[in-house]
Each structure stands twice: as C-alpha cells, then as structure tokens.
Amino acid sequence: MQLNMHRLRKVVRNLPSVLMGYNIYVDTDKLRLIDHVFRHIRPEASTFADLGGVWKVNGGYARYAAKQKNIRLGTLVDTDFPPAVRAELEAGRQLRLITGDFTKEDVAAQVGPVDVIFFFDVLLHQANPSWTDVLARYAQNSSCITIYNQQWVKGPATVRLTSLPLEEYIAVAPKGRDEVYRHVYAHADEIHPEYGKPWRDIHNVFQWGITDADLRAHMKGLGFREVFSRNYGRFSDLPAFENHAFVFVR
C-alpha cells in the first residue's frame, strides 16, 4: 500500500509530464527548468548535452530539450540504452546518442563543445572520478551548466557518504536497498566486474552529500557565476536531502 501511495503521489506531481507523453519519473520541475534555461538564460542556444539521462526517465529530458526553439542537436550520454528506448530516441532527428560513462575523458571528448549541459540527479553519484572532477572536465565543454541535484542539508560540510559507517549510511540513504548497501560495504575494495572501479565508488548508490556552499564555491573556482537557483523541497522521504537546482554561466 505504501508503495502504491508513493507511485500515486508521483503520478499526481508529474501529471503534466505524463500528459505530454513522458513516463511518471520525468519530473515536471525539471521540464520547467529546461524551459527557463532556453527561454531566459540561453535563448540563442542550439546544442546541449544531457549526461546520464536514461535511467528511469528514458531520455525524457533530452527529448523535451530537443524540441526547444533553435535547437539543432542534442547529445544524450549514458552507459545503458534499453533497445526499445534506443529505437525511440534514434527516431528523433535532433538527438545524438553516446553509449558510455560520461565521467570518462574520452566520452567528454566525444560530447565536445555544447551550449548547455544538464546534470540532472547525477552529481551525488560520482566518486571515481569525484563530482568536482566531473564538473571541472565539462566546464571546458560549455559556458552554461545546469544542475538539479539532491543536496545535503543535514550539516554544513560536504560528506563522502560511503566513508560513513554502514549503519549511518543506511540511515540517510534511500530506503529499501539495505541488501545492496551491505553488499557494497562488504566488497568495498574489490573491483566491480563491469565498472572497473572499487565497489565503494560505483554510481549505483549515493556517494556524496554535497552542500550548496561547496557546489557554489567549486563552480566559482571554475570561473562560473550563478544566475539561477531554486529549492524544490525534500527529496523523497529523506530529511538529509533536498532537491536544489542551479544554473551557472561563464
């Protein structure tokens, strides 16, 4: 019953997205954020990249962004494209698909220069390389970086979550995945067979609690200034995280 109620709330919250033909995981707030970027911050933009935008949302944000005025090409990067999703995305003339880990240098080179980059729900998952290194890498590719991330509000400092004791990690991380977390901790220093990095660093779990202050300071250090921010409220049922959006330009 609890799961069904959670799903119902998600449907109601994202009803505008569903009515536009996207699934219930495509967040209406992010669609409005895309509108704001292309209408008010970078109305002249003709290219964009959506990094890690397939899981659950099936490329919904890239599909939506590709419909914006003046867009001639969008790039969508992820490690896995289900066949049906790939077929649907390839039917669109304005999307280029790159299969790979967007944190890697060779993949960033394939993305190349673009007018706008979207980091939606991905930065807190990046540990090897770190979220700071990922932003530094893509700062070379674009002068407009748009972030929607689950930000850490439990304390004043950014926290490497998988360095916490297991029970502390379980207390703050998304619920219902305790077996996964215990497996990650039990095999922390072993190399993951698919990702080629220690289990403690895999992107499938929350890796960081990133504070607004540290994100802003890092972007400032990369030469960007903040032109938009908004707090969209608590993430799921986790009091340690809130959904915050930022747009930085240079």
Residue 40 to residues 69, 72, 77, 97: CA-CA distances in angstroms? 12, 18, 25, 27
Looking at residue 8, what is its pLDDT? 64
Structure tokens at 150: 């689950």
Looking at residue 18, what is its pLDDT? 80
Please state whether the peptide bond connecting residue 129 to the residue before it is cis, i.e. omega within 30 degrees of 0.
Answer: yes
Q: Residue 190: what are its φ and ψ, rounded to 5°? A: -80, 150
Give the residue from 103, 40, 95, 107 showing the smallest Cα distance to 71.
95
| Residue-wise pLDDT tens digits, 238-249 | 999 999 999 999
Q: If you compute the radius of gyration of the chain from its CA atoms, what whole number of angstroms results?
A: 18
Work out the pLDDT band at 20, boundaries 50, 70, 90: confident
Q: What is the mean pLDDT of residues 164-193?
A: 97
Residue 236 to residues 175, 182, 187: CA-CA distances in angstroms? 10, 21, 28
Work out the pLDDT band at 58, boundaries 50, 70, 90: very high
| Residue-wise pLDDT tens digits, 76-128 | 999 999 999 999 999 877 899 999 999 999 999 999 999 999 999 999 999 99
| Residue-wise pLDDT tens digits, 183-228 | 999 999 999 999 999 999 999 999 999 999 999 999 999 999 999 9
Residue pair 39/46 in contact (Cβ under 8 Å)? The answer is no
Residue pair 201/188 in contact (Cβ under 8 Å)? The answer is no
Work out the pLDDT band at 4, boundaries 50, 70, 90: low
| Domain segments of the chain as ranges | 27-158+210-249
Residue pair 134/164 in contact (Cβ under 8 Å)? The answer is no
In CATH, 27-158+210-249 is 3.30.1490.20: no
pTM of the entire predicted model: 0.93
Looking at residue 10, what is its pLDDT? 64
Whether the pLDDT of residue 132 is over 80: the answer is yes
What is the Cα–Cα distance from 173 to 161, expressed in whole angstroms? 9
- 232: Cβ–Cβ under 8 A, 6 or more apart, which residues? 29, 148, 242, 243, 244, 245
**66: amino acid identity, one letter:** A
Q: How many CB atoms lie within 10 A of CB 222?
A: 16
Segments of the chain assigned E as strands: 47-51, 73-78, 95-99, 116-120, 144-152, 159-160, 208-209, 225-235, 238-249
